[in-house]
Amino acid sequence: MIKASIIGATGYTGAELVRILSRHPQVELVALTSQSYVGQELGRVFPHLKPATTLVCSEQDVLKVARESDVIFTALPHGLSVPIVQEAIENGAKVIDLGADFRLDDQAEYEHWYKVEHHASGLLAEAVYGLPEINREKIARARVVGNPGCYPTSAILGLAPLLKKGLLQANSVIIDSKSGVSGAGRGLSLGVHYSECNDSIKAYNVGGHRHIPEIEQELSKLAGEKVAISFTPHLTPMTRGILSTIYGNLTKDVSYQEVHQLYSEFYGEEPFVQVLPLGELPQTKWCYGSNHCFIGLVVDPRVNRVIVVAAIDNLVKGASGQAVQNMNLLFGLPETSGLEFAGIYP
């Protein structure tokens, strides 16, 4: 049994990790730390987890946690993970960071977008971007995995086959994403106050969202050239789910069937990517609570553009499920272990 701990267990991604790991056949949860709920049973903080665990939230004693754990999941706001990951690694634990601190390769880029200094440039260089469908082999050999952001997961999975084949004009890519409100976390603010956002949709952080450098970094690697995107996130009146509608200009005349074929082959063996049949498009509810990404495609010859629609659950494939998928890779387990559950529908 792999001994796993969570630093920051009482946010939504932490709770989702517990939901998944508590039923993982090769995992034993050993510690859950929290800032706000030390000494409380997690099942009191999140009653839906009452049947799943009797663990009590403990203080964030990283040394102790690292010594008793094979793997640590850090689920903290950006900037807070760096010292923790360093200490954990030094004490022999592997780390999967669900925050933003180990996603960007370039320290200056990180510091530019996140407005904090990064004090572990060595680890940053070593860390692997944890998108298994792209980086499977590297992840398996990593000590630190930077778990992808929710929006980037949908965007990169949606674009990878086309970019890798050089079929898209690098600077034509526009990603229009719609996220459920849980993506904003558990912290209180007027923008996610029920009465303010129910029955209403809005765009936010247009052109300035911190997931932009992460998306561009990975798309550029796939394309083999610098890709600059437009990315617009929207707050959508639903609890979970991300739908990314992605537009790109084709570099040559390819048919709908050819593009569809390309995706079907690219993701043919992937357990968590479902390329939909010709003519079908996903809705986010299909992956509510599951680790699956559904991808639908349209080629619009009128404007010589391809439109890709990718749907995930922001808290599962977009966060905690993907983190468990990465853990499976780190420890040589079947990649789907503990993640085989279907979504909840309707």
Residues belonging to the active site:
150
Among 123, 307, 312, 323, binds its own copies (CB under 8 A): 307
Q: For residue 239, which of 274, 205, 192 has the smallest C-alpha distance?
A: 192
**Minimum separation from the CB atom of position 4 to its own copies (A):** 16
The answer to whether the CB of 113 falls within 8 A of the CB of 136 is no
Among 54, 137, 204, 224, binds its own copies (CB under 8 A): 204
269 binding its own copies? (CB under 8 A): no
263 binding its own copies? (CB under 8 A): no
In angstroms, the CA 92 to CA 65 distance is 11
Q: CB within 8 A of 197, min separation 6: which ones?
A: 181, 191, 235, 237
Q: Which is nearer to its own copies, 83 or 191 (CB)?
A: 191
Quickly tell me which residue has 């510690």 as its tokens. Answer: 31
Q: Which is nearer to its own copies, 220 or 232 (CB)?
A: 232
114 binding its own copies? (CB under 8 A): no
Interface of this chain with its own copies, residues 270 to 299, rule: CB under 8 A? 271, 274, 276-277, 281-290, 292, 294, 296, 298
Interface of this chain with its own copies, residues 159 to 188, rule: CB under 8 A? 171, 174, 176, 178, 180-182, 184, 186, 188
Task: Dig out the tokens for 83 from the structure.
Answer: 């010292």
Q: Which is nearer to its own copies, 116 or 228 (CB)?
A: 228
Residue 60 is classified by DSSP as -
201 binding its own copies? (CB under 8 A): yes
In angstroms, the CA 111 to CA 91 distance is 27
Q: Which is nearer to its own copies, 86 or 304 (CB)?
A: 304
- Determine whether 142 is exposed, middle or buried from the number of CB atoms within 10 Å of its CB (0-12, 13-18, 19+): buried
The answer to whether the CB of 103 falls within 8 A of the CB of 212 is no
**Minimum separation from the CB atom of position 312 to its own copies (A):** 12
The answer to whether the CB of 344 falls within 8 A of the CB of 284 is no
The count of C-alpha atoms lying within 13 angstroms of the C-alpha of 109, restricted to the half-sphere facing its C-beta, is 17
Task: Dig out the tokens for 265 from the structure.
Answer: 């082959």
**Minimum separation from the CB atom of position 242 to its own copies (A):** 9
Interface of this chain with its own copies, residues 210 to 229, rule: CB under 8 A? 228-229
Q: Which is nearer to its own copies, 116 or 206 (CB)?
A: 206
Per CB under 8 A, which region of 27-35, 112-120, 121-129, 190-198 contacts its own copies? 190-198
**Minimum separation from the CB atom of position 1 to its own copies (A):** 17
Sign of CA dihedral 219, 273, 283, 75: negative
**Minimum separation from the CB atom of position 164 to its own copies (A):** 22
In angstroms, the CA 52 to CA 72 distance is 19
Among 108, 122, 141, 195, binds its own copies (CB under 8 A): 195
Per CB under 8 A, which region of 17-25, 55-63, 100-108, 133-141 contacts its own copies? 17-25
